[in-house]
């Protein structure tokens, strides 16, 4: 397993995490099988947003004696009032469900108290202009949560949440198809394959900005909807010319700036094994460079950090260099120290580029790599 540091928290997450939503309404034995497989393969982070007591208790029982081996994202305000999933910012209700989460898991802390589902202006106001956020901050003060996270599907709202400065972690809906949709696109419809394929075209600037913003501020991202609810794997629904593989989807998520872990929803041991098998695959098997090209090709010119252009004869990590450049360009007068440090620590820097052009020949997106290397040299060296 590979672990990545979670921002400034001092904690590290396995790059493959476990989404537990498919364990809802399943017998205990299924939870045990999945949690056992995840822990056996060194997965150390799981997301648990479901409000129902039975699934929470099943997960708690499966983790018995092993609570300290996992980081848990537990969501504050996820409820099942009126017998359906919903969100509330009402503090007594949030408190009731949060205390139930602790009780069900037989623990006295949650690693990441997640501000649940902040997508709309109403969500934002409901969180940050009410006592809800005071409640979350108090949970942290009391040690009932170790750090504060939030979940969102909307890049504009998520960026506002990040700008508040209260977060250590953002859980965001990340896959190559959603990244081409405008902030106000109906993700629910996208998940059902009901969005016209022609809308998937070009990296949405708000989403690109969000990833860079998180990276520049040291806010870690964990991803959800990495497989697009399975739709990206299906020839009938994938908006691309071919369906993607699980490994390509995982690799796409893990190569977005700031992403530390991708939560893969599993309800069988085989699914856990398929997710962790990512670690055994070659670069070529993970490569999504050609796979996410759209018929109109309007990703053209934008680096997707896919590494399809490697190897570079002088050993420059081209995707990482362009990613740092993109983050620095957010505010060239105030480049984050950690980005400068990352750049300085690179084994080979942009100024070593001999302008051989082999990367540009291989890049599926027509990125002018040499120009990027020159810009990186100017900004960082
Ligand atoms: S330059 Fe092209 S091939 Fe290289 S990482 Fe960027 S998009 Fe991928
Ligand atoms: S043009 Fe520069 S960055 Fe690209 S492969 Fe050649 S040396 Fe490496």
Q: pLDDT tens digits for 157-199?
A: 999 999 999 999 999 999 998 898 888 877 777 667 677 767 7
Residue with the smallest CA separation from ligand 2 atom 6 is 356
Mean pLDDT of all residues in the chain? 92
Whether the CB-CB separation of 155 and 204 falls below 8 Å is answered with: yes
Give the CATH architecture of domain 3-286.
Answer: Alpha-Beta Barrel (3.20)
| Tokens representing residue 177 in the block | 């198809």
Q: How many CB atoms lie within 10 A of CB 381?
A: 10
Residue with the smallest CA separation from ligand 2 atom 2 is 353
For 18, phi and psi rounded to 5 degrees?
Answer: -115, 120
pLDDT per position as a tens digit, 70-118: 999 999 999 987 667 788 999 999 999 999 999 999 999 999 999 999 9
Rounded distance from Cα 352 to ligand 2 centre (Å): 8
**pTM for this entry:** 0.91
pLDDT number for residue 211: 96
Q: Is omega for the bond preceding 330 within 30 degrees of 0, making it cis?
A: no
Q: Is the CB of 358 under 6 A from ligand 2?
A: yes
List b or e across 170-191, with b for residues whose CB sees 16 or more CB atoms inside 10 angstroms. bbbbbbbbbbbbebebebeebb
Q: Report the nearest atom of ligand 2 relative to the CA of 311.
A: 5
pLDDT number for residue 281: 97
């Amino acid at each position: 397993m590979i672990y990545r540091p979670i921002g400034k928290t001092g904690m590290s997450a396995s790059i493959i995490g476990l989404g537990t939503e498919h364990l809802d309404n399943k017998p205990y034995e299924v939870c045990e099988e999945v949690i056992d497989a995840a822990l056996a393969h060194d997965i150390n982070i799981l997301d648990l947003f479901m409000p129902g007591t039975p699934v929470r208790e099943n997960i708690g029982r499966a983790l018995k004696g092993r609570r300290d081996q996992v980081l848990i994202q537990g969501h504050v305000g996820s409820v099942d009032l009126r017998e359906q999933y919903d969100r509330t910012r009402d503090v007594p209700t949030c408190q009731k469900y949060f205390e139930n989460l602790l009780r069900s898991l037989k623990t006295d802390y949650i690693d990441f108290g997640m501000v649940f589902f902040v997508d709309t202006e109403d969500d934002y106001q409901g969180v940050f202009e009410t006592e809800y956020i005071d409640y979350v901050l108090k949970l942290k003060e009391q040690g009932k949560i170790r750090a504060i996270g939030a979940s969102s599907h909307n890049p504009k709202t998520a960026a506002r949440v990040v700008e508040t400065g209260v977060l250590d972690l953002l859980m965001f809906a990340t896959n190559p198809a959603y990244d081409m949709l405008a902030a106000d696109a109906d993700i629910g419809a996208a998940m059902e394959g009901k969005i016209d394929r022609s809308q998937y075209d070009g990296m949405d600037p708000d989403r690109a900005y969000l990833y860079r913003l998180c990276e520049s501020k040291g806010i870690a991202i964990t991803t959800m909807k990495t497989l697009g609810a399975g739709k990206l794997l299906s020839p009938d629904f994938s908006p691309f010319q071919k369906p993607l593989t699980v490994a390509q989807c995982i690799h796409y998520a893990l190569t977005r700036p700031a992403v530390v872990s991708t939560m893969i929803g599993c309800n069988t041991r085989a699914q856990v094994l398929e997710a962790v098998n990512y670690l055994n695959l070659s670069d070529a098997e993970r490569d999504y460079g050609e796979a996410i090209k759209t018929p109109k090709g309007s990703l053209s010119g934008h680096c997707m950090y896919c590494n399809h252009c490697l190897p570079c004869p002088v050993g420059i990590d081209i995707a990482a260099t362009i990613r740092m450049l993109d983050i620095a360009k957010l505010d060239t007068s105030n480049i984050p120290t950690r980005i400068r440090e990352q750049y300085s620590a690179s084994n080979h820097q942009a100024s070593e580029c001999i302008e051989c052009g082999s990367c540009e020949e291989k890049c599926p997106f027509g990125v002018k790599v040499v120009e990027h290397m020159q810009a990186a040299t100017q900004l960082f060296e």
